[in-house]
Amino acid sequence: MRAFAKHPEVIYTELEDGAVLLHLDSGFYYSLDRVGLEIWRQVNAGVPIEAIAPALTQRFEVGQETAAAAIDAFVDQLVRERVIAPHDPAAAAAPAAPTAAAPATSPRTPFQAPTIVKHDEPLHQVSTHPFDPQLPLAE
């Protein structure tokens, strides 16, 4: 069972149409769509990757196999961007269970492969200097 944890220097917010992440170490912003947010919630709650697909199939119009493949690819991206890191479930008291799956009566919403968008420039390059806004930032 593989589990991951959010990088301690990542802050994020959940919004109506997805989530925005800020990696304070690198200064990069990321946006997640709705499917990405659902996976992020589960990963962030310590749910093992293999246990996330059933939660996704309850919320979205997607089969188990497609969901599992999409989750794997998405989690690989999160790892590559260092917004999550492997987490030893043995260190936890017990592996977390999938969180807050939608009630069975809720209509499932259309599924699209989850996306994470890395925004072009990190914070320290798009921003002006807080004291000398008219000057380019020192490298």
Positions touching another protein (CB under 8 A) are: 11, 13, 15-20, 22, 24, 29, 31-32, 119, 123-124, 126-135, 138
Phi and psi at 72, nearest 5°, equal: -55, -50
Q: How many CB atoms lie within 10 A of CB 114?
A: 25
Rank residues 3 and 22 by Cβ distance to another protein and give the closer one.
Answer: 22
Q: Whole-number minimum distance, CB 107 to another protein, in Å?
A: 21
Q: Whole-number minimum distance, CB 41 to another protein, in Å?
A: 15
Rank residues 22 and 55 by Cβ distance to another protein and give the closer one.
Answer: 22
Q: Whole-number minimum distance, CB 119 to another protein, in Å?
A: 6
3-class SS shares of the chain: helix, strand, coil, % to 5: 35, 20, 45
Distances in Å between the alpha carbon of 72 and those of 38, 65, 86? 14, 11, 13
Q: Whole-number minimum distance, CB 95 to another protein, in Å?
A: 28
Are 57 and 67 in contact, with CB atoms under 8 Å apart?
A: yes
Rank residues 18 and 48 by Cβ distance to another protein and give the closer one.
Answer: 18
